[in-house]
Structure 1
Amino acid sequence: MITALGTPLTPEEELHIPGLEAHIHDQLAHGINGFLVAGTMGLMQLLTESTYRQLVEQSVQFNAGKAEILVGVGDTSFVRTRDRIRIVEQFDIDGVVALAPFFIKYSQEDLVDYYLSLAELSSKPLYLYDLPQTTGTKLEVETVLKLAEHPNIHGIKCSDHFVTIRPVLDTIGDEFRVIVAQPNLMDVLLRSGVREHLDGIYGLVPEWIEKMVAATESEDWNELALIQQDLSELLRLLVTSSAPLFSTVTTILNMRGIPGNFAPRPMRPLTAAEQTQLAEHPLIQKIFTGKTVSSVEA
């Protein structure tokens, strides 16, 4: 289970170091065994270069070798992604994760050249990142299979529908890591043997993810399904709210005792009324049953 970490920021939008430390330690305390730093949840593209560098450095320090650390490096062009790899490969990380370049549309041939060139220059294992909902570019199965032949391309993080990556799993098997982001299907996928999962929602409810792992290991499929129901309901709450997603995430993480703002401008913060409505939602109250809700603010 790999958590896509958020990036806590100060009011000046510099790295909130105590917030990052609390965020990482909260995850480790619940058995999370991997982190994606500066991924989509971490909003790498919205950070200054100095904040990005500090985020990676401090994440490595706070993790202290306890969990796998992957770092998002994908930018809008080869040279920009190359420079991000140069920034982060000096740190003790386990791999770099590169989105398909965005802003301009690229062909599959362009993407093959892009990723092979990155794999050649990176001193760290390279992972593909398929997120067509955001980038507008799909990594097709044939492209992934061709790239998987390179010795320094170790896997793919797939946020598209599971059916689009299933042929890669069936063709390559364990020789190539397929890390899925399917938080609405985790019970089905865990029960069917898909064991590598990554998502940002894990940061909000790591205790639920810990229980899902335990239920899978004990083959308690009823318990697994019940937790999945709560997780899917939380996802629906987040995406259907009129409030900005990352601002809602900020409020929940602040309630967990993790300070910092995870929604940089121009995303607006929640109003006092929206915060009250969120805190009073039965599902949010369920998250904090038996816990002390913190009054820490962003």
Structure 2
Amino acid sequence: MTRSIKMITALGTPLTPEEDLHVEGLAAHLQDQLDHGINGFLVAGTMGLMQLLKETTYRDLVAQSVALNAGRAELLVGVGDTSYVRTLERIRMVEGYEIDGVVALAPFFIKYSQEDLIEYYRSLADASSRPLFLYDLPQTTGTKLEVETVLQLAQHPNIHGIKCSDHFVTIRPVMDAIGDEFRVIIAQPTLMDVLLRTGVTEHLDGIYGVVPEWIATMVTATEQEDWETLAAAQQDLSELLRVLQTFSAPLFSSVTSLLNRRGIPGNFAPRPMRPITAAEEAELFELPIVQKIFAGKTVTAADENVTL
């Protein structure tokens, strides 16, 4: 590898029953990632559900993330909202903290043209004292950042990159045109083995928070060109994603159970997401791929420690 591999976890936001920040949960979540070699964080991204949080919880999340991280890993903060003024207000809330950049979704709720988006992002970049990263998530926002739009925005001195959650083929032309001058951070957790083998070195996803040891295995396997181990880890990761996306409980409620079992307290599924039922949780932990996560580990289950 000519460049070091960057694995950025999109952290969940652990909440108390009142949906304030669960500080102990955040500390445990962040430390769990650092312990497994994760070298970047996205706070208040899609996994962190910024748009569902109280303003006070959002402020606390950023402040505590900065304090707990203490400069050990790159720290990006999600700020994207539905309009220029709302997103700018988020930037103003967080830019006084020691963060490495702000990440802005394409504005959602109303459809915007590519010309609108160019003006939106350029104005945000002009106004922000922190590096700005684009965030392409058309599956959620309903708005696609087209290649030509990204290429134009990449010329702005304060727009440093893009987090792309759309399929890799949609961002490949940008990588080919710009090279390393503009960071392209890929969120394709089911294709990581293929992308790592071909030299794509910056990856980001929320699933890393559940299985950081699997991500560490993938990094090591890539560095050692151990493609068999890399492929096996990818198969496990893809199966876990499939299970979580098709399970009867809401995704974030299932993730809450998995993180709690890792010893990370808090609720990662704010209302109106319903909590996982006791029967669903029992079924979840009987699934072979979930048992594989915790095999041989001492985990937290109810009020006792259990070695699985």
- Report the TM-score when normalising by structure 1: 0.99
Matches of 1:165 and 1:176, distance apart in 2: 12
1:295 CA drift (Å):
2.2
- Aligned residue runs from structure 1 range 45-84, under 5 A: 45-84=51-90
Specify the code of the residue in structure 1 equivalent to 2:222.
Answer: T
2:22 matches 1:19: no
Q: Secondary structure at the match of 2:62?
A: helix
Cα shift at 1:296: 5.4
Q: 1-side partners of 2:46 and 2:156: how far apart? A: 25
Note the alpha carbon deviations across 1:221-246, whole angstroms, 9 max, x for none: 01000000000000000101121000
| Distance in 2 (alpha carbons) for counterparts of 1:292 and 1:277 | 20
Unaligned runs of 5+ in 2: 1-6, 304-308
1:40 aligns with 2:40: no
Aligned residue for 1:203?
A: 209
The answer for the alignment partner of 2:141 in structure 1 is 135
- Give the CA deviation at 1:290: 1.2
Matched, 1:239 2:234: no
Instruction: Output the TM-score relative to the length of structure 2.
Output: 0.96
Q: Residue 274 of structure 1 corresponds to which residue in structure 2?
A: 280
2:289 pairs, out of 276, 283, 291, with: 283
Aligned identity (percent) is: 78
In the TM superposition, structure 1's runs of 4+ consecutive aligned residues that sit over 6 Å from their partners are: none
Contact 1:130–1:139, Cα closer than 8 Å, also in 2: yes
Which 5+ residue runs of structure 1 have no aligned equivalent?
none
How many Å apart are 1:293 and its aligned residue?
1.9
Aligned length: 297
Is the 1:4–1:199 Cα contact (8 Å) retained in structure 2?
Answer: yes
Of 284, 292, 299, which aligns to 1:293? 299
CA RMSD of aligned residues (A): 0.7
CA contact (8 A) 2:79 2:102 kept: yes
- Are residues 296 and 97 of structure 1, via their aligned partners in 2, closer, same or farther at CA, if it must alter by over 3 Å? farther
CA distance in 2, matches of 1:226, 1:104: 42
Tell me the residue number matched to 2:171. Answer: 165
